[in-house]
C-alpha cells in the first residue's frame, strides 16, 4: 500500500435533487502526502468543497457517495459509521470553513467552543482543557488569551475569528487540515497574516493541508501541489510549478491567462474564458469544458479524454495532448472553433 495520508480513488458523488441527479463529483481521484499542502482550485460549483467535505463524512442528504473509495490514514472513510467517524473528525482531520462569521456559535464563548473539541477527543479534564485552549490561542497569535477565552464571537474581528477557527481545528494536532477558502472573506492585509500563520503552523506541527480556493495567488504562495477541478472532475493536477509554468489543459491555461499580472509593466489585455460554466443538471457528453474551449474538436463533444501522465506528479485530461502523438484519429482533430 502507498504511504499517502489521503487516497481518494474514483469517487463519485451525486446530489439527488427534485430536479434530477447532480453529479457533483465524477470519478475523482487524488492523494495527499504527509505534511504536504495540496491546493484545490476551481470555479464555484466545480465540486472543490464537496470533495473535502466527503472526506470528513460531512455530506448530508440529498448528497450520496455512489462509488469509489476514500482512504485517510488507514481508515476506509466511506465504510465507517457515523459513530466511528465522529472519533476522527476534529481529531485526526479537521476543517476551517470559509466564513468565520457564521461558523462559530454566537451563544458560546470562544473558550467554551475550543474546550469542547478538547474535552471530546482527549481525556483531559476541564482545567487542563482550558490551559490547552489558552496555549492554542497563543499559538495562533491572539494576544490576551485569557480575556479572549471569555469573549463571544461577535466581540472579535473577522481575522481574529478566523484565528479562533484555526485554533479549534488544531486543538488535537490533526494529521490533515482542510481549509475551505479560509481567507476569501478577509481583507488582503489580514489574508496575508492568516496565510503566514498557516505556513508557520504547518512547519511547526507537520500536518498536511488541503487548501480549497479560487484565488490562484494564494495557491502560488503556499501549495506544493495543485488539483484543478472543473464540473466535478479533476482535469489537471501537478506540482505548483508544473501547473503554473507548464499547464496542459486548456481550462488551466485559460484560467492563468484571465488573471491580471501585477508586476507587468506593459499593459496586456486579459484573455477571458468565454461562455459560462456548465449546467450540472444536464452535463454535456464528452469533455465538460468543450463548449468554452477555443480548441474544441469533434471528439471532445463525444468522449471524455483519458488521463495522460506528463511526469510522476503531473497529469491532465485533454484530447489535445492525445492527438499530438496519435495521428490515427484524423478527422476527429478538426478544430470546431476556427
Cβ atoms of 291 and 31 within 8 Å: the answer is no
Q: Grid coordinates in use for 40?
A: 484545490
Name the residue nearer to another protein (CB basis): 218 or 296: 218
- Which ranges of 38-104 would DSSP assign to H, the alpha helix? 48-55, 82-88
Residue nearer to another protein on the CB measure, 162 or 321? 162
CB 63 within 8 A of CB 56: no
Do residues 32 and 212 lie in contact, with contact meaning Cβ atoms separated by under 8 Å? no
Conformational region of residue 285, where left means phi above 0, alpha means psi within -120 to 50, and beta covers everything else? beta
Burial of 171 (0-12, 13-18, 19+ CB in 10 A): buried
Choose, by CB under 8 A, the member of 43, 69, 294, 322 that binds another protein: 43
Site for another protein in 44-73 (CB under 8 A): 44
Among 60, 270, 325, 337, the residue binding another protein under the rule CB under 8 A is: 270
Hunting for cell 503554473 — which residue is that? 244
**Residue 315 cell numbers, joined:** 497529469
Residue 125 lies near another protein (rule: CB under 8 A): no
Task: Report cis status (omega within 30 of 0) of the bond before 62.
Answer: yes
Single out the residue of 20, 62, 206, 272 in contact with another protein (rule: CB under 8 A): 272
Residues 157-216 within binding reach of another protein (CB under 8 A): 157, 159-160, 187-193, 195-196, 214-216
The Cα-based distances of 299 to 295, 296, 313, 323, 331 in angstroms read 11, 8, 26, 10, 9
For residues 13 and 50, the answer to whether their CB atoms sit within 8 Å is yes
Q: How far apart are CA 222 and CA 195, in angstroms?
A: 8
Least spacing, CB of residue 220 vs another protein, in Å: 5
Residue 45 beta carbon to another protein: minimum distance, rounded to whole angstroms = 9
Number of residues that bind another protein (CB under 8 A): 44
The verdict on 309 binding another protein (CB under 8 A) reads no
| Alpha carbon distances (Å) from 114 to 5, 31, 225, 228, 327 | 26, 30, 31, 33, 60
240 binds another protein (CB under 8 A): yes
**Is there binding between residue 299 and another protein (CB under 8 A)?**
no
Query: Considering only 71-79, 260-268, 293-301, 309-317, which stretch makes contact with another protein by CB under 8 A?
Result: 260-268
Q: Quick check: 221 binds another protein (CB under 8 A)?
A: yes
Q: In this chain, which of 263, 327, 328, 331 binds another protein, going by CB under 8 A?
A: 263
CB of 279 to another protein, least distance (A): 10
CA 51: distance to chain centroid? 7
Q: Is 281 in the site for another protein (CB under 8 A)?
A: no
Q: Decide: is 120 part of the binding site for another protein (CB under 8 A).
A: no
Among 219, 228, 234, 299, binds another protein (CB under 8 A): 219
Question: Of the listed pieces 14-22, 27-35, 102-110, 272-280, which binds another protein according to CB under 8 A?
Answer: 272-280
List contacts with another protein (CB under 8 A).
43-44, 157, 159-160, 187-193, 195-196, 214-221, 240-241, 244, 254-256, 258-263, 265, 267, 269-274, 276-277
Amino acid at each position: 500500500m502507498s504511504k499517502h495520508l489521503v487516497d481518494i480513488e474514483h469517487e463519485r458523488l451525486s446530489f439527488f435533487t427534485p430536479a434530477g441527479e447532480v453529479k457533483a463529483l465524477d470519478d475523482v481521484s487524488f492523494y495527499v502526502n504527509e505534511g504536504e499542502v495540496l491546493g484545490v482550485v476551481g470555479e464555484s460549483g466545480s465540486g472543490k468543497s464537496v470533495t473535502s467535505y466527503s472526506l470528513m463524512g460531512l455530506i448530508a442528504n440529498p448528497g450520496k457517495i455512489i462509488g469509489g473509495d476514500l482512504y485517510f490514514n488507514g481508515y476506509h472513510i466511506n465504510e465507517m459509521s457515523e459513530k466511528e467517524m465522529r472519533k476522527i473528525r476534529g481529531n485526526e482531520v479537521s476543517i476551517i470553513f470559509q466564513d468565520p462569521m457564521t461558523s462559530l456559535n454566537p451563544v458560546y464563548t470562544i473558550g467554551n467552543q475550543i474546550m469542547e473539541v478538547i474535552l471530546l477527543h482527549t481525556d483531559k479534564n476541564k482545567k487542563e482543557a482550558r490551559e490547552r485552549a489558552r496555549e492554542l490561542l497563543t499559538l495562533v497569535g491572539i494576544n490576551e488569551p485569557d480575556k479572549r477565552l471569555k469573549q463571544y464571537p461577535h466581540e472579535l474581528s473577522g481575522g481574529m475569528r478566523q484565528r479562533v477557527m484555526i485554533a479549534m481545528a488544531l486543538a488535537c494536532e490533526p494529521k490533515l487540515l482542510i481549509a475551505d477558502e479560509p481567507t476569501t472573506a478577509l481583507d488582503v492585509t489580514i489574508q496575508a497574516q492568516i496565510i503566514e500563520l498557516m505556513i508557520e503552523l504547518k512547519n511547526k506541527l507537520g500536518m498536511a493541508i488541503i487548501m480549497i480556493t479560487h484565488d490562484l495567488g494564494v495557491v502560488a504562495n503556499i501549495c506544493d501541489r495543485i488539483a484543478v477541478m472543473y464540473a466535478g472532475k479533476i482535469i489537471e493536477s501537478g506540482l505548483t510549478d508544473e501547473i503554473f509554468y507548464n499547464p496542459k489543459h486548456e481550462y488551466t491555461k485559460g484560467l492563468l491567462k484571465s488573471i491580471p499580472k501585477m508586476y507587468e509593466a506593459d499593459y496586456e489585455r486579459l484573455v477571458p474564458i468565454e461562455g459560462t460554466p456548465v449546467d450540472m443538471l444536464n452535463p454535456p457528453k464528452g469533455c465538460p469544458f468543450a463548449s468554452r474551449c477555443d480548441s474544441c474538436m469533434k471528439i471532445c463533444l463525444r468522449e471524455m479524454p483519458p488521463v495522460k501522465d506528463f511526469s510522476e506528479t503531473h497529469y491532465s485530461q485533454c484530447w489535445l495532448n492525445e492527438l499530438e502523438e496519435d495521428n490515427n484519429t484524423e478527422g476527429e482533430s478538426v478544430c470546431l472553433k476556427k
